[in-house]
Structure formats: structure tokens, C-alpha cells
Amino acid sequence: MSHEFPVPVPDDAAGFISEPDRPTGALATLARIIGEHGADRVALVTSFGAESVVLLHLVSRIDRALPVLFVDTEMLFAETLAYQTDVADRLGLRDVRRIRPDAATLATRDTDGTLHRSDHDACCALRKTAPLDAALIGFDAWLTGRKRIQGGARADLPECEIDAAGRLKVNPLALWTKSDTRDYMDRYDLPRHPLVSKGYPSIGCAPCTTPVAAGEDERAGRWRGSAKTECGIHIDTDGRIHRRTREQAA
Ligand code: SF4
């Protein structure tokens, strides 16, 4: 699918590095993307996990009405649901859309809610990927809070990339460090997800997330004991992560 780029988009994070500090750089990127595409054509995608509040706060400084797609698999921790409401209220987010799996599909494919025990990929596909794919129709661009320091397939994450549908996918926090994130949360006194203090530095669905021991990778508690490291939202249809530049996507 061909994709037109109305704004100059860097193929890597070089422009980001040149900014005087990470929050300033992220704000500049967000302002440019939202300004050029329009606030109704850009969506922030989040699960209201451990550090989601940072990107949500940055966006709220630009436009509180920007659509926020909250991917609710109906398998999230009760703490996450309470945190989502608290964060949305405190930041004044005006367009949080709860993206849920299709009820009819669940009724045929995961009748008792145990598909995750036998097939993680199938469960993520019907509870996360398919609902989000549908929700993103009509948007030109989406924002994620992923960072290189999260490791694995994210280690070489660019600031901007192209998804399988040809949409612009923007990762304004790609180069943020742990101290960048902590300092930003402290500076703006942002609420912490209640599970972080209980040993969960990365938080997804309750059945597939465990606490992490000291010294472990922060995503080690996700799908522990399996080779799976990504839910599928950030993986192409062939099961791999592809990074496309503007030229390759055109
Ligand atoms: S993380 Fe686990 S429960 Fe959540 S959608 Fe994926 S397999 Fe299902």
C-alpha cells in the first residue's frame, strides 16, 4: 500500500537526539505529527500499563481530546482498570475509547476464557490485534510508548516507522532512559500504576504477567516460560517485526 507523507518524517531518531532534552524532543515530535495530520487522524494506543502515563501526559499537554485507544483484552488486572479511570480523570483526557474483543468471536473461539493457556498467539490475536486493527481504521498515524531500553525486538526501535497497513507509527519515547521516565513522572507528580511497587515493571494481562525479580529484564514477567515476547500489535502478519522507511513503504 502506498502512503503519502505530508510531513517530513525522520527515518531514524537522529532529529530526536539533537533536541535539548527528551521531553522537549518528544513534545516537538507529537506537536508536529498532530499538527500536520489533525488531532482526529492520530490515535494514542495504550494499555495503561506501568509507564503509559508519560506519553498520555505529553499528549494531554498538546490536545486532551486526542483519541486514546485503550486496549482492554478483558483479561487485565483490576488495578489496571482502576488506574485507567484515575489517569484519564487526572489528565482530563476527553476521548478515551475502550477497545474490546468482539463478543461473538469470543463466544466461539474462547468460550471459557482459557485460550491463553493453550495458544498465546491466538488469544492475543483475537483479544488485542484484531480489535486494534479495526479501531485504527480511519487514522493516519498512531502513537506508542515503546522504548529501546525495553530490549529484545525494541532495541533498535526508530522514532517513526510504517505499520503493515501503511500507517505512520510514532514512538516518541524511543530513546528515553529509565531516569528520563522517572524524572518526568516525578516532575509532574504523575500517578504510578499500583502494581509497579509490587514488582511489576511491565504490566499486561493478568494471566500472562508475573512479578520480576531483581536483576531480571523488565519484560521478563511477560509470558514467562514461553518464547513469546510481543503481543502481536507490533508484529506484522508474517509474525516478524519489519521496520520500513518512507522510501520502502512508498
Ligand atoms: S496477553 Fe495473555 S491473556 Fe492477554 S491477550 Fe495475550 S495471551 Fe491472551
Q: Kindly state the cell numbers that stand for 159.
A: 522514532
Total domains in the fold of the chain:
1
The answer to whether position 85 is within a domain reads: yes
The answer to whether position 1 is within a domain reads: no
Q: Kindly state the cell numbers that stand for 113.
A: 476464557
**From ligand 1's centre to the CA of 163, what distance in Å?**
21
- The residues lining ligand 1, judged by C-beta closer than 6 Å to any ligand atom, are 73, 75, 116, 120, 123-124, 127-128, 204-205, 207-208, 231
Q: Which domain holds residue 226?
A: 14-249
Any idea what the CATH number is for the domain that residue 74 is in? 3.40.50.620
Whether the predicted pLDDT of 15 surpasses 70: no
DSSP notation for 113-144: S-HHHH-HHHHHIIIIIHHHHHHTTT-SEEE-
Which one of 123, 124, 205, 231 is the catalytic residue?
231
**From ligand 1's centre to the CA of 5, what distance in Å?**
34
The answer to whether position 87 is within a domain reads: yes
The pLDDT of 70-78, averaged and rounded, is 97
Q: Whose CA is nearest to atom 1 of ligand 1?
A: 205
Please identify, by atom number, the ligand 1 atom nearest to the C-alpha of residue 128: 5
Whether the predicted pLDDT of 14 surpasses 80: no
pLDDT in tens, 135-194: 999 999 999 999 999 888 888 899 999 998 999 999 999 999 999 999 999 999 999 999
Q: Are 122 and 135 in contact (CB under 8 A)?
A: no
Please identify, by atom number, the ligand 1 atom nearest to the C-alpha of residue 232: 6
% of the chain with per-residue pLDDT over 90: 71
**From ligand 1's centre to the CA of 208, what distance in Å?**
6
Compare 16 and 73 and report the one with higher pLDDT: 73
pLDDT for the residue numbered 238 = 45
Q: Kindly state the cell numbers that stand for 171.
A: 514512538
Please identify, by atom number, the ligand 1 atom nearest to the C-alpha of residue 115: 8
The answer to whether position 4 is within a domain reads: no
Counting beta carbons within 10 angstroms of the beta carbon of residue 92, is it exposed (0 to 12), middle (13 to 18) or buried (19 or more)? exposed
231 catalytic? Reply is yes
Locate cell 483479544: which residue?
127
The pLDDT of 62-69, averaged and rounded, is 97
Locate cell 510481543: which residue?
230
> pLDDT band at 4, cuts 50/70/90?
very low
CA-based nearest residue to 48, from 93, 106, 16? 93
The 3-state DSSP class for residue 79 equals helix
The answer to whether position 232 is within a domain reads: yes
> pLDDT band at 247, cuts 50/70/90?
very low
Compare 184 and 247 and report the one with higher pLDDT: 184
The answer to whether position 24 is within a domain reads: yes
pLDDT for the residue numbered 10 = 44
Please identify, by atom number, the ligand 1 atom nearest to the C-alpha of residue 116: 7
The pLDDT of 203-226, averaged and rounded, is 89
**From ligand 1's centre to the CA of 116, what distance in Å?**
6
The answer to whether position 2 is within a domain reads: no
The answer to whether position 6 is within a domain reads: no
Whether the predicted pLDDT of 245 surpasses 50: no
**From ligand 1's centre to the CA of 241, what distance in Å?**
19
Residues 6+ apart with CB under 8 A from 2: 166, 249, 250
> pLDDT band at 3, cuts 50/70/90?
very low
Q: Whose CA is nearest to atom 5 of ligand 1?
A: 124
Of these ranges, 19-23, 97-101, 177-181, 242-246, the one predicted with the greatest mean pLDDT is 97-101
